[in-house]
Structure 1
Amino acid sequence: MVADLTELAALEDAPRVVFFGMECSFSLPVLTTLLGSGIEVCAIVMPAAKDLFMLGSSISSTNTAIFRLPATHIPGGLLPMMQTGYTEERGSIVRLAQREHIPVWCVRNLAAQETRETLASYQPDLICVACFSQVIPSGILSLPRLGCVNVHPSLLPALRGPEPIFWAFHKGCMITGTTVHFMVPKLDSGAILAQEVIAIPDGISATVLEEHCAHLGGKLLAQVVFALMHGHAHPYFQDETQSSYQSYPQAEDYMVTAQEWEARHLYNFICGVADDTLPVILRVHILDADGAGVERYLLVSEALEYDNAALLPLEGNDPATIMRGEASDEWIVACRQGWVRVRESGSV
Structure 2
Amino acid sequence: MSKRVLTRFPTVVLWGQPSRQTAVTLAALLRAGVRVTALVLARSRHRTQSPGIDVPVAPWHEDPSTLAKRSGIPILVLQEKYQLQTLPASAVPEADSAVVSCFPWKLPSPVLERYPLGMYNLHPSLLPAYPGPEPLFWHYRDGRLRTGVTLHRVTDTVDAGPIIGRVSCTLPLAFPGDRLEAWLAWYGCGILLRHWQNDTAEVEATHPRETVRWARVPAIGDRTIDTGWQPWRVAHFLAGVLPLGFDVYIADQSNQLWQVKRFLAWTQQPLVPDFDGRRISLRFGRSWITVEATSVHSAERLRRNAFRQ
The TM tier, using the shorter chain, reads: 0.7 to 0.9
Shift of 1:233: 4.3
Q: 1:42 aligns with which of 34, 37, 40?
A: 37
Q: Does the aligned pair in 2 maintain the 1:31–1:218 contact within 8 Å? A: no
Q: Does the aligned pair in 2 maintain the 1:161–1:246 contact within 8 Å? A: yes
Shift of 1:151: 0.9
Q: 2:274 aligns with which of 307, 314, 328?
A: 328
Aligned: 1:142 with 2:116: no
Q: TM-score with structure 1 length normalisation? A: 0.68
Aligned: 1:109 with 2:73: no
Task: Give the Cα separation in 1 of the matches to 2:250 and 2:25.
Answer: 34
Q: 1:209 aligns with which of 171, 177, 180?
A: 180
For the residue of structure 2 that corresponds to 1:185, the secondary structure is coil
Task: Give the Cα separation in 1 of the matches to 2:135 and 2:246.
Answer: 21
Q: Does the aligned pair in 1 maintain the 2:13–2:99 contact within 8 Å? A: yes
Shift of 1:245: 0.5
1:29 maps to a residue whose letter is: V
Q: TM-score with structure 2 length normalisation? A: 0.76
Q: Does the aligned pair in 1 maintain the 2:16–2:103 contact within 8 Å? A: yes
1:136–1:101: structure 2 CA closer, same or farther, 3 Å change rule?
same
2:33 maps to a residue whose letter is: G
Aligned residue pairs total 277
Q: Does the aligned pair in 2 maintain the 1:304–1:343 contact within 8 Å? A: yes
Task: Give the Cα separation in 2 of the matches to 1:219 and 1:201.
Answer: 22
Deviates more, 1:156-165 or 1:231-240: 231-240
Q: Does the aligned pair in 2 maintain the 1:154–1:178 contact within 8 Å? A: yes
RMSD between superposed Cα atoms in Å: 3.2
1:29–1:79: structure 2 CA closer, same or farther, 3 Å change rule?
farther
Shift of 1:209: 1.9
Q: Does the aligned pair in 1 maintain the 2:9–2:196 contact within 8 Å? A: no
Deviates more, 1:100-109 or 1:249-258: 100-109
Paired residue for 2:224?
255
Cα deviation digits, residues 63-101 of structure 1 (max 9, x gap): xxxxxxxxxxxxxxx454264799965333333333333
Cα deviation digits, residues 121-178 of structure 1 (max 9, x gap): 62x3321111223321111112222211111111111112221111111100011111
Cα deviation digits, residues 264-298 of structure 1 (max 9, x gap): 212211222348993431343xxxxxxxxxx4435
Task: Give the Cα separation in 1 of the matches to 2:45 and 2:182.
Answer: 15
Aligned: 1:133 with 2:104: yes
Ranges in structure 1 where 5+ consecutive residues have no aligned partner = 1-7, 50-77, 285-294, 308-322
For the residue of structure 2 that corresponds to 1:253, the secondary structure is coil
Aligned: 1:30 with 2:25: yes
For the residue of structure 2 that corresponds to 1:240, the secondary structure is coil
1:324–1:217: structure 2 CA closer, same or farther, 3 Å change rule?
same
Shift of 1:22: 2.6
2:89 maps to a residue whose letter is: R
2:256 maps to a residue whose letter is: Y
1:95–1:342: structure 2 CA closer, same or farther, 3 Å change rule?
closer
Aligned: 1:339 with 2:296: no
For the residue of structure 2 that corresponds to 1:180, the secondary structure is strand
Aligned: 1:224 with 2:174: no
Aligned: 1:166 with 2:137: yes
Task: Look at both structures and tell me which one has the larger radius of gyration over its CA atoms.
Answer: 1
For the residue of structure 2 that corresponds to 1:345, the secondary structure is strand
Q: 2:15 aligns with which of 9, 17, 20?
A: 20
Shift of 1:344: 6.1
Task: Give the Cα separation in 2 of the matches to 1:223 and 1:46.
Answer: 25
Identity among equivalent positions (%) equals 24
Q: Does the aligned pair in 2 maintain the 1:255–1:283 contact within 8 Å? A: no
Shift of 1:118: 5.1
Q: 2:234 aligns with which of 266, 275, 288?
A: 266
2:281 maps to a residue whose letter is: W
1:223–1:262: structure 2 CA closer, same or farther, 3 Å change rule?
same
For the residue of structure 2 that corresponds to 1:251, the secondary structure is coil
Paired residue for 2:263?
302
Task: Give the Cα separation in 2 of the matches to 1:270 and 1:36.
Answer: 33
1:324–1:305: structure 2 CA closer, same or farther, 3 Å change rule?
closer
Task: Give the Cα separation in 1 of the matches to 2:246 and 2:159.
Answer: 30
1:277–1:130: structure 2 CA closer, same or farther, 3 Å change rule?
closer
1:14–1:85: structure 2 CA closer, same or farther, 3 Å change rule?
farther
For the residue of structure 2 that corresponds to 1:109, the secondary structure is helix
